[in-house]
């Protein structure tokens, strides 16, 4: 399995961690980062100025630089960053209809000021994400139609089969903000956020919901037999109950569908965490990230170390969760466990900082 991409080697040395050119003067084209020419994006487009502001345009790193670029319009008061894509001879804004899976995981750009702060490579991508809601505000009602298709599927599912099938619909309302998928690493830049595999919208995967329900069951002191029946086994021992045996390997009676954003509610936020004493925690020994704790030559913690901003995306608003099963009692149990976890444990990362807590409410089955 391939490891995490090395930004210093990505795109033939033209990745976001490579050497930075000096910012071009207003209205003048600058060289292509890492060497100009027509390859992989060609020459830097002409800068744009006017009204006391100066502008620069940077192609995307790699082959996408031929059709995608970022434009910075810098004035005395603020900097405006826009993603542009080429249609014919014109450059137009990348709209909310673009799939966030491509925008966040396949693109990287030079920093807004041409400097050496690698975290600024996230600026154009995160500004696009917060402005468009990661593709939810597409203007053509795709999210509404997707939610209706989900309801149509649930209607048909409950009416098929020899036995009665049940659906439990929940609405998860984030109390403040939530970040799910913080440990995911895709592409050159780490934009860890769980996204729907088809549409690129923010989501909570079904596997995350199932793990959250299991954590809530443990917190609520549920019986092992109940957990195995509803979530499958074997499961870790709950309380003083005996460990499940090999014969108890089974699928759970409850099925978890990936959460979908509710219409016009989920907002995307650009957050940042700034750890101090970064060299102490990461170490400088190439043998591994734990070198700072094992190597006597590793740097000691000190306030003279520069803080390192680490940007990430978070969400707020409502998510729609659908649970399917043949046993209504098991569905009620799982919904209770999700409620326990949402109030006491939280979901996703940075729960100690207040992220990931939410309220859950039932959605009437007649809403199907």
- Based on the domain organization, do 110 and 158 belong to the same domain? no
Q: Could you tell me the pTM of the whole model?
A: 0.73
- Based on the domain organization, do 284 and 325 belong to the same domain? no
- Based on the domain organization, do 295 and 315 belong to the same domain? no
- Based on the domain organization, do 195 and 318 belong to the same domain? yes
In a domain, 1, yes or no: no
**Where does a domain end: 132, 150, 171?**
132
**Average pLDDT of the residues in 292-312:** 70
Q: For residues 316 and 7, which has the higher predicted lDDT (pLDDT)?
A: 316
pLDDT on residue 261 = 92
- Based on the domain organization, do 203 and 342 belong to the same domain? yes
**Where does a domain end: 132, 153, 184?**
132
Confidence of residue 66 (pLDDT cuts 50, 70, 90): confident
- Based on the domain organization, do 196 and 237 belong to the same domain? yes
In a domain, 2, yes or no: no
Q: Give tens-digit pLDDT for 200-237.
A: 888 999 999 999 999 999 888 888 888 888 998 776 66
In a domain, 4, yes or no: no
In a domain, 356, yes or no: yes
Q: What domain range includes position 98?
A: 10-132
Q: Inform me whether the pLDDT recorded for 55 exceeds 70.
A: no
Look at the chain and report how many structural domains it folds into. 3
- Based on the domain organization, do 175 and 318 belong to the same domain? yes
In a domain, 358, yes or no: yes
Q: For residues 350 and 110, which has the higher predicted lDDT (pLDDT)?
A: 350
In a domain, 247, yes or no: yes
- Based on the domain organization, do 188 and 86 belong to the same domain? no
- Based on the domain organization, do 255 and 302 belong to the same domain? no
Q: For residues 206 and 297, which has the higher predicted lDDT (pLDDT)?
A: 206
In a domain, 363, yes or no: yes
Q: Inform me whether the pLDDT recorded for 22 exceeds 80.
A: no
**Average pLDDT of the residues in 171-184:** 85
- Based on the domain organization, do 197 and 337 belong to the same domain? yes
Q: Inform me whether the pLDDT recorded for 74 exceeds 50.
A: yes
In a domain, 168, yes or no: yes
3-state SS of the chain? CCCCCCCCCHHHHCCCCCCCCCCCCCCCCCCCCCCCCCHHHCCCCCCCCECCEEEEEEECCCHHHHCEEEEEEECCCCEEEEEEEEECCEEEECCCCCCHHHHHHHCCCCCCCCCCCHHHHHHHHHHHHHHHCCCCCCCCCHHHHHHHHHHHHHHHHHCCCCCCCEEEEEEEEECCCECCCCCCCCCCCCCCCCECCCCCCECCCHHHHHHHHHHHHHHHCCCHHHHHHHHEECCCCCCCCCCCCHHHCEECCEEECCCEECCCCCEEEEEEECCCCHHHHHCCCCCCCCHHHHCCCCCCCCCCCCCCCEEEEEEECEEEEEEEECCHHHHHHHHHHHHHHHHHCCCCCCHHHCCCCEEEEEECHHHC
- Based on the domain organization, do 331 and 206 belong to the same domain? yes
- Based on the domain organization, do 101 and 58 belong to the same domain? yes
**Where does a domain end: 82, 97, 132?**
132
Q: Inform me whether the pLDDT recorded for 292 exceeds 60.
A: no
């Amino acid at each position: 399995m391939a490891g995490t991409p090395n930004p210093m080697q990505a795109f033939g040395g033209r990745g976001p961690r490579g050497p930075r050119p000096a910012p071009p003067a207003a209205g003048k084209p600058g060289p292509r980062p890492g060497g100009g020419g027509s390859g992989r994006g060609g020459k830097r487009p002409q800068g744009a100025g006017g009204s006391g502001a100066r502008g620069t345009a940077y192609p995307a790193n790699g082959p996408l630089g031929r059709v995608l670029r970022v434009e910075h319009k810098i004035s005395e008061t603020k900097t405006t960053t826009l993603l542009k894509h080429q249609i014919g001879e014109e450059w137009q804004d990348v709209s909310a209809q673009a799939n966030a899976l491509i925008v966040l995981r396949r693109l990287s750009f030079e920093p807004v000021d041409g400097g050496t702060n690698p975290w600024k490579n996230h600026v154009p991508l995160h500004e696009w994400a917060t402005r468009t809601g990661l593709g939810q505000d597409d203007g053509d009602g795709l999210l509404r139609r997707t939610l209706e298709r989900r309801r149509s599927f649930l209607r048909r599912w409950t009416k098929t089969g020899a036995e009665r099938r049940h659906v439990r619909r929940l609405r998860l309302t984030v109390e403040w903000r939530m970040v799910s998928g913080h440990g995911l690493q895709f592409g050159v830049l780490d934009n860890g956020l769980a996204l729907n595999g088809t549409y690129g919208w923010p989501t909570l995967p079904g596997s995350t919901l199932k793990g959250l329900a299991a954590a809530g069951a443990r917190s609520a002191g549920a019986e092992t037999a109940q957990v195995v029946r509803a979530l499958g086994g074997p499961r870790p021992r709950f309380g003083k109950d005996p460990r499940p045996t090999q014969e108890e390997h089974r699928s759970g009676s409850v099925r978890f569908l990936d959460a979908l954003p509710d219409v016009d509610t989920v907002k995307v936020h650009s957050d940042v965490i700034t750890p101090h004493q970064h060299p102490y925690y990461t170490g400088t020994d190439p043998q591994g990230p734990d070198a700072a704790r094992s190597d006597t030559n590793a740097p000691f913690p000190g306030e003279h170390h520069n803080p390192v901003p680490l940007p990430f995306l978070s969400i707020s608003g409502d998510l729609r969760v659908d649970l399917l099963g043949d046993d209504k009692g098991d569905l009620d149990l799982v919904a209770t466990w999700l409620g326990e976890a949402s109030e006491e444990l939280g979901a996703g990362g940075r729960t100690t900082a207040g992220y990931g807590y939410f309220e859950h409410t039932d959605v009437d089955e007649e809403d199907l």
